Each structure stands twice: as C-alpha cells, then as structure tokens.
Amino acid sequence: MQNIEENNGFVYRSYNKAELARMYVPDRAQRTAMRMFNKWLTHHPPFWKRLQREGITIKTQIFNTAQVRAIVDYLGEP
C-alpha cells in the first residue's frame, strides 16, 4: 500500500527519479533534467547528508514518501 499525502496541490507519494526530475525541470529533456536534479541533490553538503540518512544514494531510482518530503523541504514544491 502506497503512502499518499497531498499539500497545496502537490501529492507526496513515491516517485521515480525521472518523474520527479521532470517535475522540477519540465522544459528540458529527461536526460538533462536528471543531470540537473542530481546536481541539485548533491550540491549542498548538509542537504546531501540528510538525504543519505534517509537512504538516498546517487543511484537511487525510486524515492519513498519520506524521501520526497525531504527533497521538497529543501527544493520547494515543483
């Protein structure tokens, strides 16, 4: 069963990396969106450490609801 929460129109649920990257960078090709998204995740060391504590690595392809919440807390809603 998938944990789904909604807040101001954004749905907090599991997302695959490509889907979330395209939400944040909708005007770019998927490959470019993924590269940009990965840079955003790893650029700020304290944030990256928080994500690592949530179980995220650079190779993580699916983010659970708690991981999505941590990403949105830092980057804002897509």
Task: Tell me the pLDDT tens digit for each residue of 24-46.
Answer: 999 999 999 999 999 999 999 99
Q: Which of helix, strand or coil describes residue 15?
A: strand
Give the list of residues 6+ apart from residue 24 with CB closer than 8 angstroms, or none: 33, 36, 37, 40, 75, 78
Q: Report the percentage of the chain scoring pLDDT > 70.
A: 90
Q: Where are the alpha helices (DSSP H) in the chain?
A: 17-24, 30-43, 45-53, 65-75
pLDDT in the model for residue 9:
77
Containing domain of residue 19, as a range? 5-75
pLDDT in the model for residue 3:
66
Total domains in the chain come to 1
Segments of the chain with pLDDT less than 50: 1
